[in-house]
């Protein structure tokens, strides 16, 4: 498996404060760093480079995306707006929790270009699995709106590039939050299937008007909402009974995964009770699809446990035995809600199949 990295992704400085009240220093004697910060990505890299899965991985350096490449999934006016904010000389909030600063434009281009470098390695047959370990994350970024720490939709850019190369693409998103940006980008492209398995949270403002519910499902999109605290069993069943059959029925020959770890039992932004074992099983299921696959890094904000979950996911992807124990997991699944949640996802969607 090939990992892709670019140092410029660390230059995006999101600052500190109180998450939902940016800049309100008086609330805290020691301001909290923004949850989407450079330290989390450095920790992820260190875990994979030094953990026991390291011998199964190779590392490559990414690149910057061009303006034309970014325009594959975003409007020119939106990109100009982002660039202007990034070059204003100070930190600018594009919405309540999505900020940019002087180093952000290079980080944005590096994240997108590194995801494309991962795609290029897979498309060339150099590797079957490639992981773009990047930030800022992207799956909430819509064609013309920033949202949820996301500025350019890296997963959508890979999917659109593969689509233009004649691939029939599926995007599988297991970040704890609905992949509304990817849904928005491909809402009229029935040759790309977007599948999001996430916590039920609904719309959360002008920049996230999508609900993520089954009422938004159609032939090109499948939302699988799971009740808060769903746990490992719910995710296994959601994949086995709903998401993966839909991907197979779509006839996908290329897979893009929006890979978030904020569904973990200890994440401050999710707490969906997933453990490292749950993420390992997600990796195994993705590998079993046996498709050319690019993964892009999305959420995961308790960086130590998220790094353990990332390591476990990669174990599943490359097919090793369990290499690390999980010293923290203890929460049970909330199994009583699973049947209802999966039934809602299935009945809310039109019959799957090639467009």
Q: Which of 286, 296, 341, 294 is nearest to 318 (CA)?
A: 286
The DSSP annotation for 11-62 comes to G----EEETTEET-GGG-SSPEEPSS-HHHHHHHHHHHHHSTTGGG-EEEE-
Task: Assign 3-state DSSP to the chain and report helix, strand, coil percentages, each to 5.
Answer: 40, 20, 45
140 is catalytic: yes
From 6, 12, 140, 178, active-site residue: 140
Q: Would you call 222 helix, strand, or coil by DSSP?
A: strand
CA distance 332 to 188: 39
DSSP state of 218: B
User: How far is residue 20's CA from residue 191's CA, in Å, rounded to a whole number?
Assistant: 37
Contact (Cβ atoms closer than 8 angstroms) between residue 33 and residue 18: no
Of 285, 259, 178, residue with least CA distance to 221: 178
- Rounded CA-CA distance 199/177 in Å is 6
Beta strand 221-226 pairing with 2-5 = unpaired
Distance CA 87, CA 97 (A): 18
Using DSSP's 3-state secondary structure scheme, residue 308 falls into helix
Active site residues: 140
């Amino acid at each position: 498996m090939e990992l892709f990295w670019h140092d410029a992704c660390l230059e995006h400085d999101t600052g500190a404060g109180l998450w939902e009240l940016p800049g309100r220093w008086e609330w805290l004697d020691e301001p909290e760093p923004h949850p989407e910060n450079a330290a989390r990505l450095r920790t992820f890299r260190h875990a994979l480079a030094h953990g026991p899965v390291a011998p199964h991985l190779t590392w490559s350096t990414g690149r910057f995306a061009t303006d034309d490449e970014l325009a594959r999934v975003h409007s020119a006016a939106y990109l100009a707006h982002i660039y202007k904010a990034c070059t204003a000389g100070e930190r600018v909030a594009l919405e309540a929790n999505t900020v940019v600063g002087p180093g952000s434009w290079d980080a944005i281009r590096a994240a997108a270009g590194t995801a494309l470098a991962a795609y290029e390695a897979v498309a060339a047959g150099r590797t079957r699995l490639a992981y773009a370990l990047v930030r800022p994350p992207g799956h909430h970024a819509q064609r013309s709106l920033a949202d949820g720490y996301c500025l350019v939709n890296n997963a959508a850019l890979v999917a659109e590039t593969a689509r233009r190369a004649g691939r029939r693409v599926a995007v599988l998103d297991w970040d704890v939050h609905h992949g509304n940006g990817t849904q928005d980008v491909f809402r009229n492209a029935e040759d790309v299937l977007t599948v999001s398995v996430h916590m039920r949270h609904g719309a959360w403002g002008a920049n996230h008007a999508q609900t993520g519910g089954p009422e938004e499902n159609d032939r090109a999109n499948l939302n699988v909402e799971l009740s808060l605290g769903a746990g490992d069993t719910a995710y296994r069943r959601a994949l086995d009974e709903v998401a993966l059959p839909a991907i197979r029925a779509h006839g996908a020959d290329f897979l893009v995964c929006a890979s978030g770890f904020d569904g973990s039992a200890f994440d401050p932004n999710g707490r969906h009770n997933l453990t490292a074992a749950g993420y390992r099983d997600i990796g195994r299921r993705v590998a079993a699809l046996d498709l050319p696959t690019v993964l892009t890094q999305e959420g995961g904000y308790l960086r130590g446990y998220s790094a353990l979950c990332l390591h476990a996911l990669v174990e599943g992807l490359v097919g090793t035995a369990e290499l690390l124990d999980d010293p923290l997991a203890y929460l049970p699944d909330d199994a009583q809600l699973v049947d209802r949640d999966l039934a809602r996802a299935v009945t809310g969607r039109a019959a799957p199949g090639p467009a």
